[in-house]
Amino acid sequence: MDDLAAWIGRSETLHDTLHATPPRALNATLDHPAADFATGTPLPPLWHWLYFLPLHRQSEIGPDGHAKRGGFLPPVPLPRRMWAGSQFEFRAPLRVGDAVERTSTIADVTVKQGRTGPLVFVKVRHEIRCNGAAEAALVEFHDIVYREAKRPGDVEPPPQAAQPGAPWQRELVPDDVLLFRYSALTFNGHRIHYDRKYVTEVEGYPGLIVHGPLIATLLMDLLRREAPGADVAAFRFKAVRPTFDGAPMRVNGAREGQTVKLWAQDHEGWLTMDAVATLR
């Protein structure tokens, strides 16, 4: 644990092209009518997650379906890894057909002691540039948390009730097909999203876990449905509680001027994700 801070400042740069097929596929996955996504079409916010995919060799994959510890991310010696939240600045559009470059840097590594054991928080800064531009079109901070394996008797933090009566609401059931399709689109091999035996017997969860980025995408998709012309300048979200497959979930929103509060809840009414979008 004491050596993890040595990873701060490490960086890597990847290149990709914003082809049209991934957004067409996500558009279908989110249950929108077919769209062409011709060259020059701006990508909706968060759809950049369809690119710069983690192309690790099969021999490099660990028992949880992620790449083995080490490489770009620090080798945290804890088995459970979750996407805790992210913050974004949308400075310029990303368009279909763009040649893009992403530079990722380990911004911080923090070790804390939680109620059930040690926690390691890793913050990664991503900057995406288009077509050789000097300035970043998108800046993202990605917060990852690592935890020990769940043990008998571990007490989960008390749930928080979601705010009722949202002006914007959409209910859906995240089934294993939806989770599989999103995993495939993002080349996410993490077994907690598709391997029921693994997630229940090894990690101790009651069902498949809905991807945090998928929930964040559904929140932004709600904003697009309710305010189609909105221009998002910034967005941040925090995962509060896991969402499991097979039961209804709801995404909610409320606009207050140039600020849009967004949140997700599970079938019991507990808050699962809290988010805020800022409009231009």
* DSSP track, 28-91: HHTTPPP----TTPBPPTTGGGGSS-----GGGB-TTSSBPS-TTS-----SEEEEEEEEEEE-
Token pair of 163 as six digits: 């705010």
Closest CA relative to residue 277, chosen from 240, 239, 231, 215: 231
| Rg over CA atoms, the chain | 19
CA 258 to chain centroid, in Å, comes to 23
Alpha carbon of 201 to those of 150, 165, 205, 207: distances in Å? 10, 37, 8, 10
Nearest in space to 126 (alpha carbons), one of 135, 136, 137, 139 = 139
* φ and ψ at residue 29, rounded to 5 degrees: -65, -35
Cα 95 to its chain centre, rounded Å, is 20
Confidence band of 67 (pLDDT split at 50, 70, 90) = confident
pLDDT at 70 over 70: no
Domain boundaries, the chain: 4-279
- Tokens matching residue 147: 């935890």
CB neighbour list of residue 42: distance below 8 Å, 6 or more residues apart: 93, 94, 95
Confidence label for 13 from pLDDT (cuts 50, 70 and 90) = very high
Q: How far apart are CA 248 and CA 174, in angstroms?
A: 7
pLDDT digits (tens, 9 = 90+) for 184-204: 999 999 999 999 999 999 988
| Angstrom distance (rounded) from CA 9 to CA 14 | 16
> What percent of the chain is predicted at pLDDT more than 90?
80
- Rounded alpha-carbon distances, angstroms, from residue 32 to 35, 37, 49, 190, 216: 8, 13, 18, 26, 17
250-272 pLDDT tens trace: 999 999 999 999 999 999 999 99
Beta pairing partners, 140:
88, 126
Mean pLDDT of the region 90-102: 98
| Segment 32-43 mean pLDDT | 97
C-alpha span between 168 and 174 (Å, rounded): 19
Cα distances (Å, whole numbers) of residue 211 to 143, 149, 190: 14, 19, 10
Is the pLDDT at 1 greater than 70? The verdict is no
Mean pLDDT of the chain: 94
Nearest residue to 43 (alpha-carbon basis) of 66, 55, 31, 26: 26
Mean pLDDT of the region 211-238: 97
CATH class of the structural domain 4-279: alpha beta
Tens-place pLDDT, residues 104-159: 999 999 999 877 788 999 999 999 999 999 999 999 999 999 988 877 767 777 89
CB burial string 207-243: b at 16+ within 10 A, e below: bbbbbbbbbbbbbbbbbeebbeebebebbbbbbbbbb
